[in-house]
Amino acid sequence: MLKSAYLSLLASSVIAIVLSDAVIGQHNLLVNAALVFGLPSSVGISMWLLRRRCKKVTASPLPLWSLKSGAAVGEHGTECSLEQFVIPLAFGHAWLMLSRFLGVVSGVCSVPPNSSFGSHWTPIGLPLTLLSAAVFGKCLLILSIQKEHWGFFLLPYHTITFFLEATIYILQNAIDLFAAGSVAMETFRRKWGGGD
């Protein structure tokens, strides 16, 4: 029951947004106000139901690829189930709602047919996706959803957080290196260039 309610919430919220765009239009102030309130609450309700759902479901191990059958097979020989896709579906829902929320707030909630939508959102699309995956994973940890329940979301989460942490570490070291170089140059100027 909880499984079908959760998946129907994800699907109905996406369908409601598509229908509101098609029927009412994006430039209605009442619709935009409802979206500003409804999109974050949809993600919040989704995360709450996900937490309740994961507490009741036993974790299944990540599937491995079987060369014999050509399908993903679990550790105990069972076929890959829908359980592995629940967290990635929840992330997709949260990402779509966040993108839509940012579109409504920024005033670019509709895409005219002749505009180049990709050129406007491409510079922030990849960082938004990477950061939202990392934040979504941290939210799962805060909600006490164990990593055994994450399914196919676990590997991208680990990859993204590794590269984000490595990038931050490299930038910190580069800043420290430039600061040390400027101190060394200033010391060199004082010691050897003081004859002016």
| CB-based burial label for 94 (10 Å; 0-12, 13-18, 19+) | buried
Q: If you average pLDDT over residues 27-47, what whole number do you get?
A: 76
Q: Which residue has the higher pLDDT, 193 or 88?
A: 88
**CA nearest neighbour of 7 among 62, 85, 74, 81:** 85
Type and span of the H or E element at 27: none
Residues in the chain: 196
Residues 173-184, mean pLDDT to the nearest whole number: 94
pLDDT grade, residue 82 (50/70/90)?
low
Longest dimension (CA), the chain: 84
Question: Shortest CA distance to 26 belongs to which of 112, 94, 99?
Answer: 112
Provide the pLDDT confidence category of residue 77 given band limits of 50, 70 and 90. very low
Amino acid at 136: F
Q: Where are the domains of the chain?
A: 2-151
From first CA to last CA, the distance across the chain in angstroms is 84
Return left, alpha or beta for 107; rule: phi > 0 is left, psi -120 to 50 is alpha, else beta: left
Statement: residue 58 has pLDDT above 90: no
pLDDT class of 116 with cuts at 50, 70, 90: very low
Task: Give the per-residue pLDDT at 57.
Answer: 59
Find the mean pLDDT for residues 23-30. Answer: 63
**Given this model, what pLDDT does residue 24 score?**
59
C-alpha triplet 27, 14, 96: angle, nearest 5°: 85
Q: How many other C-beta atoms can be found within 10 angstroms of the C-beta atom of residue 18? A: 9
Instruction: Check pLDDT > 90 for residue 128.
Output: no
- Structure tokens, 90: 């929840």
Q: How large is the average pLDDT for residues 60-80?
A: 49
**Angle of helix 117-142 versus helix 154-192 axis, rounded to 10:** 100
